[in-house]
Structure 1
């Protein structure tokens, strides 16, 4: 028994060592249970930082989208559903334009486009710089109608009662400053060639008639009587008859007939925009002489 007891008797230094060992074990246990060893690097940013970072990402994305969706010049009369959506137009705005166009009418300025579609001022400011109208439309739009009145022969003024351009004689036209016997005869002759003026801006097509003189004419004359034009069915007309329409050459008439033969029929005057190299500026002009049955 004495020998057994001697095994449990420790020297002073041994007891001190055991004490410190036990103390270390207790300390490690306390550290393990009460100290958070998670790294400060893993602390998540607050919501404000996340939103700020997301905004930076969105701004970079918007810049890339803007660059990738560059707008090229286009005629707003031929905006399709997809094109209108790309430009930021609503379904209602696109439908208003398509309805207007289905009636054979054309918009000839940014102001008229907004009046028809009712797009906002902000959207119009973005897309209108890319509007591309035919040359004759640009010529008309770039020359604003003067507000001041003109003293013409026999005291003609802007606010006077206008006469019918389709019934005016050459002599009546000569009361306009800048129009003599030769130009008045050309206006009447061109009217006969067209079968009557359907659009007032057709006066700009009269050879030798200056833009300022045209404005003077329109201050005194306007289209009151619509011309009685016998319209040709575009789906049955022959190439010979088609080529006789003002504004159409034989080659252009031939392209229309070829398109009709290829697809069976033409359902809308706007189908002509699908013909390769067909002059788009002529479509609203020749539409006056064509019908679709």
Structure 2
């Protein structure tokens, strides 16, 4: 056995050199990048590949063509986009555009936003259905008189008696939202208390509300018995829109800590209070001043 592990000086030098070479090559393998700095792209092959992908997408669309119905491209979902043949990136661009509160009003704008190919656009654009006010814009109704002044209170129509036919004339409102306003108003016996309650109508943007109030306003407000905030019980507070039992308990707890509220704005400091609804909640509340006996 000893003869197998006894080396001459030259053999030891050879083994040492071999170990050095192995370590050197391992270091080169791990730390040196042998990949090409520039990957050349064959544009002709890439273009051919993209055309093949488009043809497959179009073929898929033709298979389900009988199931496609006219639709508003502003409301394309992930599922709807995939059935139309759009890629995830194209759908994401559309959804990101809509999150900004913007609307697509033409086929050209749809392509600019989503960057779909011309071939796919030609296939799906015949099914686009934009609102009537986009395809056939109606003359804008001005909130001003002929003398250039905004309408006065007396010149405006009563929001509590307005019909769907009257509301639909507001530019950009439409029949669906007009019907929704009337339905929401009629939930309350006597209608709206104030114009600010339009904020509770689903689908109304601040811009549309502004256009409505330029022509309509509450002239015959619903009569209510306002609640004294500093004496109200939980059972009283929960009758108010946007106040549930949890919030009512927190309001009373805050009232006790502060030894009564000095103003209605102090409600915004209550944990979980819907600050954006303060104007509506204030319609139902008041703070009565205490009468001090002399």
Instruction: Give TM-score scaled by structure 1 length.
Output: 0.40
Give the number of the structure whose alpha-carbon radius of gyration is greater. 1
TM-score, normalised via structure 2 length: 0.40
